[in-house]
Amino acid sequence: TSIDDPSSTGHEQVVFCQDTQTGLRAIIGIYSTALGPALGGTRFYPYASEEAALADVLDLSRGMAYKNALAGLDLGGGKAVIWGDPDQLKSEPLLRAYGRFVESLNGRYYTACDVGTYVADMDVIARETRYVTGRSVEHGGAGDSSVLTAWGVFQGMRAAAEHVWGAPTLNGRRVGVAGLGKVGKHLTRHLLDDHAEVVATDVDPRAREWVRANHPQVELVDDAAALVAADIDVYAPCALGGALDDDTVPALRAKVVAGAANNQLAHPGIEKLLADRGILYAPDYVVNAGGVIQVADEIEGFNFERAKLRATRIYDTTRQILRLADDEGVPPAVAADRLAERRMAEVGRLRTIH
């Protein structure tokens, strides 16, 4: 696909929004509404150029369609970017101007938090539009989505462990957690509850201090490279994207990769490199869907137990994908894409029958 040829990307709709008074420049990308309204967060980021912002929103909105499809949600895929530095630009009028653009799409797109936007921002946007999730608990929202993101990653990891070692547990396994942020902390707790050994790292000294104070049995290593080279069974990237690249994959000692970070594969082809080394990769967008499941539940009126049940099913979905990958002789990332495309096509077709 190329942004020079808009028809090649497969998106349904791309909306450019501008409000000169507040400095708002936003792009809303709707990849697919085959399964329902498009849902995906708003990224507020100082892109180097409009082209960079557009490329990101096209990629991210497509990714959300696949994620939402495999999460079993009746939602399509979309995403938005606000182009600029949030520290300088973010204001009530700007967020409300953005909310009015979201409202103007009449429910074709639901927004939520992403990099650079927070629950409090969603509350402001909600003053202009109904089509916003990930709101604060005081406003009936789902609150911090990292809770079910971590729960879902743990479920996906259990399915991967079962596929490789025969039992759906991390009991006795050494799991390397790279990134002890919101998700990594919850994940560490689930792993310890399951009697796994946890080895971890984080660049932020506060996160390291948190581990020492709360879970002294967790072994800390210097950096992600040390974790990759460590004697671990499972590697869980929970920091930034691109954790799996041409340097890390050959060095990795783990047999399983399952983590929360988005876009773990640095470039296409890495999934093949992992498969060739006999490393089972549980696709990131499959196992980290707990967060979108949590915020999507809010559209029906938030019920934590219902959302948790749905996030627990990430275990079944991951299992299904790993089996399909074996049956079709393809890496799990390819099997996941096929399954998502199948659901979008088959269920999407029904939604066009009147």
Among 35, 122, 207, 286, binds ligand NAD (CB under 6 A): 207
**224 near ligand NAD, rule: CB under 6 A:** yes
Cβ distance to ligand NAD smaller for residue 218 or 260: 260
What is the length of the chain? 354
**78 near ligand NAD, rule: CB under 6 A:** no
CA distance 96 to 90: 10
Give me the least distance between CB of 216 and ligand NAD, in Å please: 19
**204 near ligand NAD, rule: CB under 6 A:** yes
- Tokens representing residue 168 in the block: 């759906």
* Residue 288 φ then ψ, to 5°: -100, 20
Cβ distance to ligand NAD smaller for residue 82 or 261: 261
CA distance 350 to 345: 9
Give me the least distance between CB of 339 and ligand NAD, in Å please: 19
**282 near ligand NAD, rule: CB under 6 A:** no
Q: Which one-letter amino acid corresponds to residue 233?
A: D
**178 near ligand NAD, rule: CB under 6 A:** yes
CB 326 within 8 A of CB 335: no
Cβ distance to ligand NAD smaller for residue 24 or 283: 283
CA distance 210 to 275: 35
Among 141, 184, 283, 332, binds ligand NAD (CB under 6 A): 184
Helix residue spans in 194-331 (DSSP H): 205-214, 224-229, 248-251, 270-276, 284-287, 290-297, 304-312, 314-328
SS3 content of the chain, % helix, strand, coil (to 5): 45, 15, 35
Q: Which one-letter amino acid corresponds to residue 307?
A: A
Give me the least distance between CB of 336 and ligand NAD, in Å please: 15
Cβ distance to ligand NAD smaller for residue 167 or 203: 203
**201 near ligand NAD, rule: CB under 6 A:** yes
Select the span of 18-26, 101-109, 195-203, 271-279 touching ligand NAD (CB under 6 A).
Answer: 195-203
Please report the DSSP string for 178-209 in residue order.
Answer: E--SHHHHHHHHHHHHTT-EEEEE-SSHHHHH
CA distance 79 to 39: 7
**137 near ligand NAD, rule: CB under 6 A:** no
* Beta bridge pairs of residue 190: none
67 is catalytic: no
Among 111, 146, 155, 188, binds ligand NAD (CB under 6 A): 146
Binding residues for ligand NAD restricted to 95-134, rule: CB under 6 A: none
Give me the least distance between CB of 294 and ligand NAD, in Å please: 7
Residue, CB closest to ligand NAD: 181
- Tokens representing residue 18 in the block: 């501008």
Give me the least distance between CB of 213 and ligand NAD, in Å please: 15
**68 near ligand NAD, rule: CB under 6 A:** no
**345 near ligand NAD, rule: CB under 6 A:** no
**For the CA atoms of 98, 264, 246, 219, what is the dihedral angle to 10 degrees?**
120
Unique residue bearing structure tokens 């990759």: 228
Per annotation, catalytic residue among 79, 90, 185, 255:
79
Tally of CB atoms within 10 A around 304: 13
> Total number of residues binding ligand NAD (CB under 6 A)?
25
Kindly list the catalytic residues: 79
Residues of the shown chain interacting with ligand NAD in the complex, contacts defined by CB under 6 A:
145-146, 149, 178-184, 201-204, 207, 224, 238-241, 260-262, 288, 291
